[in-house]
């Protein structure tokens, strides 16, 4: 695991975007594993800037996203499908027929999860998987648990995650209570993993994930077992780590 300590969110975004851009340049037909949430937005903006300046080409890229809320249609402005189009896909030359997310509109959880696992397998898996880190150490929507779940599954979101996501909705009552998410086995099968973290409110999760015991109660801790992890985090997020 390589940990890059940067000054602030802006530097984190540029540094992490450079790691992802290097993957695209090295392998133009790569599979990018993508994430949503507030932390990766700056990274996506930087990738868009480099595309517009002619430095990046997404035409052969395939993408697979970590998760999607269950029950939200694609046109809902809080769906992760909408988020990805708004922050990246609509601004670059990616072939949208090769951009994949779990189908949040599929009410049959088993069917939705099985189908998404088949899609990810068919792509060959992510060459690089981008991850944020939840306040409780979750990656994707893999919440604290007694086990590490291997495959895509339907999760009941914890109260802390619901509260953290309330800022994106009109009220807490509007936040979906379930989501479809890649399992830990799928995430860990990525050839390379890129983790971004910013802010003092993530300091506990960063410390427990990368310097604490490996436990499904802190799902991010499993990343300690992956052979190629790059963490880009700002000073505030790393404030509890002895680096």
pLDDT of residue 167: 84
91 is catalytic: no
Strands 178-181 and 67-69 turn out to be antiparallel
β-sheet bridge partners, residue 6: 234
| C-alpha dihedral (70, 175, 91, 54), degrees to nearest 10 | -100
138 is catalytic: yes
Q: Point out the catalytic residue in the list 143, 153, 165, 234.
A: 143
Of the candidate ranges 61-65, 94-98, 102-106, 158-162, the one whose mean pLDDT is the lowest: 158-162
pLDDT of residue 157: 85
143 is catalytic: yes
CB 95 within 8 A of CB 131: no
174 is catalytic: no
pLDDT of residue 234: 98
Phi then psi for residue 5, to 5 deg, are -95, 120
Of the candidate ranges 117-131, 166-180, 188-202, the one whose mean pLDDT is the lowest: 166-180
What residue segments make up the domains of the chain, in order of their start? 2-234
pLDDT of residue 161: 82
Q: Point out the catalytic residue in the list 87, 103, 127, 136.
A: 136
To the nearest whole number, what is the mean pLDDT of the chain? Answer: 96
Percent of the chain scored above 70 by pLDDT? Answer: 100
Between helices 9-26 and 41-52, what is the axis angle to 10°?
50
The answer for residues whose C-beta is within 8 angstroms of residue 240's C-beta and 6 or more apart is: 203, 204, 206, 207
Which class does domain 2-234 fall in?
A: alpha beta
- Please tell me which residue, 133 or 169, carries the higher pLDDT value: 133
pLDDT of residue 25: 98
């Amino acid at each position: 695991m390589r940990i890059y300590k940067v000054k602030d969110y802006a530097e984190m975004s540029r540094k992490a975007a450079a790691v992802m851009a290097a993957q695209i340049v090295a392998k133009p037909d790569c599979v990018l594993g993508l994430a949503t949430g507030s932390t990766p937005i700056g990274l996506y903006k930087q990738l868009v800037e480099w595309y517009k300046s002619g430095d990046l080409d997404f035409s052969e890229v395939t993408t697979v996203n970590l998760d999607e809320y269950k029950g939200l249609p694609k046109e809902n402005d809080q769906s992760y499908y909408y988020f990805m189009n708004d922050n990246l896909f609509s601004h670059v030359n990616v072939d949208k027929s090769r951009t994949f997310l779990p189908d949040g509109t599929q009410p049959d959880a088993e069917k939705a999860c099985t189908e998404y696992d088949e899609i990810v397998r068919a792509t060959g898996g992510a060459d690089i998987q981008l991850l944020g880190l939840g306040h409780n150490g979750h990656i994707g929507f893999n919440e604290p648990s007694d086990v590490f779940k291997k495959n895509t599954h339907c999760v009941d979101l914890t109260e802390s995650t619901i509260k953290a996501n309330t800022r994106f909705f009109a009220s807490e009552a509007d936040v979906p209570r379930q989501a479809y998410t890649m399992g830990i086995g799928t995430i860990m099968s990525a050839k390379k993993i890129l983790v971004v973290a910013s802010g003092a409110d993530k300091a506990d999760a960063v410390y427990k994930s990368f310097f604490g015991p490996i436990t499904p109660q802190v799902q991010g801790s499993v990343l300690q077992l992956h052979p190629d992890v790059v963490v880009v985090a700002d000073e505030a997020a790393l404030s509890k780590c002895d680096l």
